[in-house]
Structure 1
Amino acid sequence: MLIPVFTVDAFTNRPFFGNPAAVCLLENDLDEDSHQKIAMEMNLSETAFIRKLHPGDDFTKKNKNSVLTFVTLSGELRARQVEDHIVLDLPLYLTYPQELQEVEELIKAAVGDMIVQDLRYSPDTKKLLVRLSDAYERSVLEELQVSAQHFLSAEKTGKVKGLILTLKGNSSGKHKGHDFYSRYFAPWYGILEDPVTGSAHAVLSSYWSEQLGKKEMLAFQCSRRGGELKISLRNDGRVDIAGRVAIVLKGNLTF
């Protein structure tokens, strides 16, 4: 069996940046065991399988109104193409104030003695949002040395499954134009640091929209690979998160 496969770097237009994912085009159904084996072989954080709903469907045909629906462990994920961006349609998750005492050891493991300006929790996603002081520059977040493995022993509440570090953007300087920056860690799911995270921005979008009074924002995730996300809050309680893509590999899986 030959299965066309692509490696795509998302939220960037530069190869070897952004979030790498594998995309497989299926002519026929595969069993769950084959899906898992292919994903393990690709060895990336995400492997997407796109299947034709009808025999006459054409993978190569472009339709600006077409929407792809992915079934994930977190529910359905819809994606569509708008010009040179892929737009993800995600739910918008609210955050609520979090008492420092409950997660103080985790915060210490993450940022040491750095000043924390705000602390929020998203019960729907079990993500803890830590906003660093506005006095810090983007470079401070980028250069922060984090041992995410230590988070596992430092988190004693059992309710945190993802840690977001975030910082307000600068209106001047080399990196002006971004409304906010972030990094994301989820060692509870085996991800020490995710390069660029759409689901984390479903939380960040809600928080920073409230803080900045904006529904349209530009964000940058400051991982080693880095990635840029265009955010648009909708009136139906959802958020569109868009990014460019770079295809870095094309080939066929044979088995």
Structure 2
Amino acid sequence: MAKFSIYTVDAFSTKPFHGNQAAIVPVPSGQSIPDHTMQALAAEMNIAETSFFTPVQSEGPDEFQKSSRFALRWFTPTVEAKLCGHATLAAAHVLFNELQNQNNTLHFDTLSGVLSVSINREGKLTMRLPMDKPEPVVHNDNFKEIATGVLGRCSSSTEIALSPVLRYLVIHDASFSEEELVALVPNITTKVIEAGRRERVDLVMVTTKGSDRDFKSRVFAPWCGIDEDPVTGSAHTVLALFWKEKLGKPFFVAQQCSKRCGELDVKIVDATHVVISGNAVVVIRGELFLDLE
């Protein structure tokens, strides 16, 4: 049996049991875990993402302390994810605070390219992520089915936009209040799931302007095995551009108002990237035993 360390981390939070959970598994460069085993472990953990990172071009007993570049992969309980902000933040937190990495900035090779995470003197983490601009879609039967199931309505005032790379669907209705967003209980029927599959939707975001934050959101991803994602970093790579056009500014204080809730500082830094800042806290440290034969 091969033994690995495993951590569960609450990202976008300064205290346990808030923010979004991620399981983090450091994999030494001399070892590997098969894809099917990584997916099985993600199903076993049954939280939004289980992530695995391995040092790149570094070996030896201190590779986690000295390396600044890592290969990083994310798995939901059912699929490998193309981009996951909170689990990237959580991986960096483990490297900086649990494995005593000596660098100020880490670089992760991922399915979405190279992602960087820096740490400041107060321990706050800042990620640089690629943006994915959502484009308005025609209100066809599929999108109407999704909007009605998730939001409970779909009228001429309902905006629906889809990001082309991540396939994230944004739903916004100016008549939908913050209070309604917090109380929202989507009706995700089989028809909603099928409609999303026909449009290749990976998740859906309901968003509204905030009174005490620039904007608020909730995220639902039944197509990835996640009924509701508590705090979604990658969602804000889409929402940043959506709200820039409405608010006329490039920086935001955002809140994802799930039951666990989470706060994010979001800033558009150039034409293609956004930086997202937040904290994280380790809740569980453990050992993982895997039969890799």
> What TM-score bracket applies, with the shorter chain setting the length?
0.7 to 0.9
Deviation per CA, 1:121-160: give whole Å up to 9, x if none.
Answer: 2222222211122x54422101011123442145485243
Deviation per CA, 1:26-73: give whole Å up to 9, x if none.
Answer: 33322314433433433322122232333242263343523141534x
Partner Cα distance (2:226, 2:145) in 1: 20
Partner Cα distance (2:216, 2:181) in 1: 8
8 Å CA contact retained: 1:70, 1:78: no
Using the size of structure 2 for normalisation, the TM-score is 0.75
1:51 alignment partner in structure 2: 54
1:31 alignment partner in structure 2: 33
2:147 alignment partner in structure 1: 107
Using the size of structure 1 for normalisation, the TM-score is 0.85
Change (3 A) 1:66 1:75: closer
8 Å CA contact retained: 2:129, 2:274: yes
- What is the aligned-residue RMSD (CA, Å)? 2.4
Letter in 2 for 1:85: K
Deviation at 1:75, TM superposition (A): 4.8
2:243 alignment partner in structure 1: 208
Partner Cα distance (2:45, 2:194) in 1: 30
Match 1:225 to one of 256, 260, 267: 260
8 Å CA contact retained: 2:197, 2:223: no
Deviation per CA, 1:196-247: give whole Å up to 9, x if none.
Answer: 1111111001111121111111111111211111101112511111211121
Partner Cα distance (1:233, 1:199) in 2: 13
Change (3 A) 1:253 1:145: same
1:143 alignment partner in structure 2: 183
SS state at 1:247 partner: strand
1:118 alignment partner in structure 2: 159
Change (3 A) 1:153 1:51: closer
**Greater relative contact order (Cα 8 A, min sep 6): structure 1 or 2?**
1
Gaps of 5+ in 2: 66-94
8 Å CA contact retained: 2:149, 2:189: no
Change (3 A) 1:237 1:110: same
Gaps of 5+ in 1: 171-175
Partner Cα distance (1:91, 1:143) in 2: 31
Q: How many residues align?
A: 247
Change (3 A) 1:31 1:159: closer
With 146-155 and 207-216 compared, the bigger mean Cα shift is at 146-155
With 82-91 and 151-160 compared, the bigger mean Cα shift is at 151-160
Match 2:131 to one of 75, 85, 92: 92
SS state at 1:210 partner: helix
Deviation at 1:76, TM superposition (A): 4.5
Letter in 1 for 2:108: T
